[in-house]
Structure 1
Amino acid sequence: MSRSQEPPHRLFFPFGNPFRARTPKGSKLSSKLVFLLATFEDSLAEGLRKLTSKSENDILSFSWMALAMKLLCETHVDVKTLIEELELPVSDWDEKWLDEYLDISVKLLDICNDFSSELSQLNQGHLVLRCALHNLASTSLNQLVHACSSLDGWNQHISNRTSRVKSHSPILDRLKGSLDLPKVQKNSAKGKVLMHVMYGVKVVTLFICSVLASAFAGSSVSLLSINIPDTYRWAQAFTELQKNVNSSGSFTVLRERDAMDESVKKLHSMIQGNVDGGMKVEEFQNLVVDLGREAEKLTQSVDHLTKQVDEFFHVVLSGRDALLSNLRESETVLDQGSGELRTRHL
């Protein structure tokens, strides 16, 4: 796996012996399949525990969301690696499952584009702040008037920005309704392992996307609540994370942006209250330094999250392209019943 390279014969397992793991109902799995499944699930559980913060202030921060998107990237890469290790031919996969996967992947790509749009708007607001900081370098009345105008521009930009994620609730609800995928192949041990793994991928993907959508929309309307059967080794870690996020409080602010807004309000108030020249220079300069620091922190955080969203987009896209490539290679297959070649329509 991408995050675990230990051979199947290792004697020590940090999350318990995978050969004693609970496996998909009705399955008789080989030791190799049990190991692959347990390795994936333990890796997922570890990632979920890292997201479960002890501080409410960490939830809905850009750094937390970047860590969440990183987990999605790693998890999807792990699935791709697991599929390769299963050596399960695409021709054995149920066509309904393939259609479902391709439909889901398109929706995930659309969601990533909308997240990128939200982050791009925040970056555009940073240009307004840079102009304000330039004018705030001087205490002359003329420059302060321009600075005040720029600070007003930041407030207007944030309040008037158009959010594209508010329409995600129906999409996420639909994806949640598709958690129970059809079997890859009837009575296939490998297929059952893949379905067991894909359930985990879908749950975590849906939940993290719903958290980001709620944060960007400033509302918990998109937040999903999912009950996980205890047959999954990562169930407890997910339940704790979900409880942690749901109890974090308001979804009306993004932590770093909220800190930026506070600095802008304080400076704006000071400038407006001291246009007569009675500016307290030291206090004013300290506030300018605070604004510069918060602006830089926000920019770095947005850039980091943007890179993680872009990486997830490419992971999903590459997985989709790989599957389509395999399907094209399998377009013409041997019809064992007639001994003739038949064409599979995509």
Structure 2
Amino acid sequence: MSRPQDPHRPFLPFGNPFRNILPKGSYLSPKLLALLNTFEESLAERLKKLKPRDREDVLSLSWMRFAIESLCGIHTDIKMLITALELPVSDWDDKWIDVYFDNSVKLLDICNAFTSEISRLNQGHLFLQCVLHNLSGDSMNSVRALASLDGWRQHISSKNPRLENCFSIMDGLVKTLDLPKIKNSAKGKVLMRAMYGVKAVTVFVCSIFAAAFSGSAKKLIDLQVPDTCLWAEAFSGLQTFVNIEIRSIYLSGRVTVLKELEAVDASVKKLYPIVQNEVDPIEAEMLQNQRSVLGKSEEKLSHGLDLLSKEVDVFFKIVLTGRDALLGNLRIGGNASESVKTDKVGGLTVK
């Protein structure tokens, strides 16, 4: 993770990770090279599509949902590549299995933390619904409306302890962006290079979510990927654009960087003093106008959070089914079976 005092420093602690994967003079057959190029070109296209067209799209819930949707596609692509490589799990090096299982359990934990935070944010919906109800013409109750507005403020400003654990897990992912040395396996070299791309993009997207949910740009990660990757240029362009915009938002002093949440917060700030004052005919009209604005922004926030939560759940299931499939193959093949043991996810992992 980039250091607070030097947030723009690219992070590549172990030098070029492909030094041991594709050393100078290494040979890949035309078939393997075509498989690798197809995977990397597809990854580059996904990254290009993920780059926001406008600065205002950065950290909108719709863009964040698209980011997770892109991760789902990338993780599906790596499964297809593994199948196309025709590399039986029995031929996998123990180190590759260790990397895969360690990464997957970390991703499952991160998904759980993000789901927890999305759920916490969505619980604020109840406070806002009470505000809207208590400000309706038939049941006007400014005292209860103020209490609900205060409740919403306190709820949104509270911290989620599960995120702190998520941040430490992400630190671990970044520190393992180096790759094991691959010997005498051209297919293994292709597999590890592709898995590096998946991991780099996954860490980057997760760091964006961490920055959005934590209220701090310090959670952003700046990765430098080797120029030899066909997706390197698209990745660097996306990372630079998004990270600069998020840091700019926080430097401006805004409390939240989530666009829909910011819209609700702005509406609450305008509505609060109106509700506090005695309502005369002019203010009554202002009150109902602001109530309408709050209702629309609240609906958009709630809908966006629901869709984002569903997409994170889809990603969780993709990672989980990938683990289960590999575990099933390990049990059938018997390779490395002695090193398989129960872990905290409730399944199995290789240590």
TM-score of the aligned structures, taking structure 1 as reference length: 0.85
Corresponding residue for residue 265 of structure 2 = 261
Corresponding residue for residue 178 of structure 1 = 176
- Aligned with 2:241 (options 241, 244, 260): 244
The worse-fitting range, judged by mean Cα deviation, of 158-167 and 57-66 is: 158-167
Letter in 2 for 1:169: F
Deviation at 1:285, TM superposition (A): 1.8
Deviation at 1:96, TM superposition (A): 2.0
Deviation at 1:54, TM superposition (A): 3.5
> What is the alpha-carbon distance in structure 2 between the residues aligned to residue 344 and residue 149 of structure 1?
59
Corresponding residue for residue 149 of structure 1 = 147
Corresponding residue for residue 11 of structure 2 = none
Deviation at 1:332, TM superposition (A): 6.4
> What is the alpha-carbon distance in structure 2 between the residues aligned to residue 49 and residue 276 of structure 1?
52
5 Å-filtered alignment, 1:152-231, equals 152-183=150-181, 186-231=183-228
**Higher Cα radius of gyration:** 1
* Runs of 5+ consecutive residues of structure 1 not aligned to the other structure: 1-22, 334-342
Corresponding residue for residue 232 of structure 1 = 229
Deviation at 1:163, TM superposition (A): 4.5
1:163, 1:216 within 8 Å by CA — same for their partners in 2?
no
Q: Is the aligned partner of 1:326 residue 2:325?
A: no
1:60, 1:215 within 8 Å by CA — same for their partners in 2?
yes
Deviation at 1:166, TM superposition (A): 3.0
> What is the alpha-carbon distance in structure 1 between the residues aligned to residue 30 and residue 234 of structure 2?
25
Q: Is the aligned partner of 1:61 residue 2:60?
A: yes
Letter in 2 for 1:259: A
2:113, 2:166 within 8 Å by CA — same for their partners in 1?
no
Please provide the CA RMSD for this pair. Answer: 1.9
Corresponding residue for residue 14 of structure 1 = none
Corresponding residue for residue 320 of structure 2 = 317
Question: Against the structure 1 CA distance between its residues 232 and 270, is the aligned structure 2 distance closer, same or farther, given a 3 Å change threshold?
Answer: same
Deviation at 1:278, TM superposition (A): 5.0
Letter in 2 for 1:233: L
Deviation at 1:48, TM superposition (A): 0.9
Question: Against the structure 1 CA distance between its residues 129 and 35, is the aligned structure 2 distance closer, same or farther, given a 3 Å change threshold?
Answer: same
Secondary structure, aligned partner of 1:107: helix
* Runs of 5+ consecutive residues of structure 2 not aligned to the other structure: 1-20, 341-351
Question: Against the structure 1 CA distance between its residues 64 and 216, is the aligned structure 2 distance closer, same or farther, given a 3 Å change threshold?
Answer: same
> What is the alpha-carbon distance in structure 2 between the residues aligned to residue 48 and residue 332 of structure 1?
36
> What is the alpha-carbon distance in structure 2 between the residues aligned to residue 143 and residue 344 of structure 1?
66
Q: Is the aligned partner of 1:284 residue 2:287?
A: yes
2:90, 2:335 within 8 Å by CA — same for their partners in 1?
no
Deviations along 1:278-299, one digit per CA (max 9) or x if unpaired, are: 5523322221111111011001
1:109, 1:317 within 8 Å by CA — same for their partners in 2?
yes
Secondary structure, aligned partner of 2:141: helix
Deviation at 1:256, TM superposition (A): 0.8
> What is the alpha-carbon distance in structure 1 between the residues aligned to residue 146 and residue 167 of structure 2?
38
Letter in 2 for 1:187: N
2:142, 2:276 within 8 Å by CA — same for their partners in 1?
no
1:169, 1:221 within 8 Å by CA — same for their partners in 2?
no
Deviations along 1:244-287, one digit per CA (max 9) or x if unpaired, are: 112102355111101100111111111113x2545523322221
Secondary structure, aligned partner of 2:26: coil
Identity %: 53
Q: Is the aligned partner of 1:299 residue 2:298?
A: no
Count of paired positions = 312
> What is the alpha-carbon distance in structure 2 between the residues aligned to residue 247 and residue 102 of structure 1?
33
> What is the alpha-carbon distance in structure 2 between the residues aligned to residue 58 and residue 164 of structure 1?
27
Corresponding residue for residue 133 of structure 1 = 132
Letter in 1 for 2:155: H
Deviation at 1:345, TM superposition (A): 4.1
Letter in 1 for 2:86: E
TM-score of the aligned structures, taking structure 2 as reference length: 0.84
Deviations along 1:206-233, one digit per CA (max 9) or x if unpaired, are: 1111110111001122211111111000
Deviations along 1:63-104, one digit per CA (max 9) or x if unpaired, are: 111111111111001101110111101121111221222111
> What is the alpha-carbon distance in structure 2 between the residues aligned to residue 171 and residue 143 of structure 1?
46
> What is the alpha-carbon distance in structure 1 between the residues aligned to residue 307 and residue 130 of structure 2?
23
2:39, 2:77 within 8 Å by CA — same for their partners in 1?
yes
> What is the alpha-carbon distance in structure 1 between the residues aligned to residue 154 and residue 204 of structure 2?
31
